[in-house]
Amino acid sequence: MDVIKRNNINISGKGEQALMFGHGFGCDQNMWRFVTPAFQQQYRVVLFDHVGAGNSDLKAYDIDKYGTLQGYASDILEICEEMDLQEVIFVGHSVSAMMGVLSAIKEPTQFKKLILIGPSPCYINDENYVGGFDRADVLSMLAYMEHDYPLWADTFAPLIMGNPDKPSLGEELAQSFCNTDPDIARHFAQVTFLSDNRRDLPKLQTEALIMQCAEDIIAPAEVGNYVHHAIRNSTLVQMKATGHCPNLSSPLETIAIMEDYLKV
């Protein structure tokens, strides 16, 4: 298996400390383009695409392996092994945040810190837990994707992005969704939005930063607070950025918070 080709790995930067970026659903490593330049001088920046996204090797997509987030987490660990990355600082956006958590639980010595941007261990409301969606809403969304994926992308991308004053960002996210194979995207969405990793959070030993956006329909404030209380050694920062993709909508704030955390 060619891990580099499989995940379209790209490494740059002048530092020795590995800073690894994982993208969210329907996106690829290009979504970090406004953030990573700030870290090139000090870190070894590692970018990759999840299998099925971006320029990854679509032939490597296995519906059984990627039927849970653990399949993606195993890829992260294989990338670390293949590229000889030690004490990695992993930056995970959206669903990649949970992939990073699962990776660090499995191999705690592999990771130095986790930076979790808009994390959610469970997207579905459950008794006293607020995940943001009722199960019926998620199932309806998945059915919508099955019926007309391009229309779903055009409809939901601006809502996920937020920032209606910057419509080009929603358009870019919609285009990113549409650049993903529809069958893979639907399966990934099902795995993402029906996942429940709440019981995994207390197992995490790695220090973590939680970056919580305002007005985030995917990971509302209640979720950020839940993750913070569930992870023992965690720091929660409430961002001024709105929506679910501050790496695109508010890169300067994203960079500033990361830099401040990494100084410690």
Which residue out of 94, 96, 120, 176 is catalytically annotated? Answer: 94
- Kindly compute the dihedral angle of the four CA atoms of residues 25, 29, 31, 34, in this order, to the nearest 10 degrees: 150
Name the packing angle between helices 135-147 and 182-193 (round to 10°).
180
- Pairing verdict, β 18-22 and 88-93: parallel
Nearest to 118 by CA among 218, 248, 25: 218
Q: Which residues pair with 111 in a beta bridge?
A: 88
Alpha helices, H only, the chain: 3-6, 69-82, 95-106, 135-147, 149-161, 167-178, 182-193, 221-230, 246-249, 251-262
- What six digits make up the tokens of 95? 């669903």
What are the Cα distances from residue 20, in Å, to 35, 49, 185? Answer: 12, 11, 23
Which residue out of 75, 120, 244, 250 is catalytically annotated? Answer: 244
244 noted as active-site residue? yes
Which residue out of 28, 49, 75, 216 is catalytically annotated? Answer: 216
Q: Which residues are catalytic?
A: 94, 216, 244
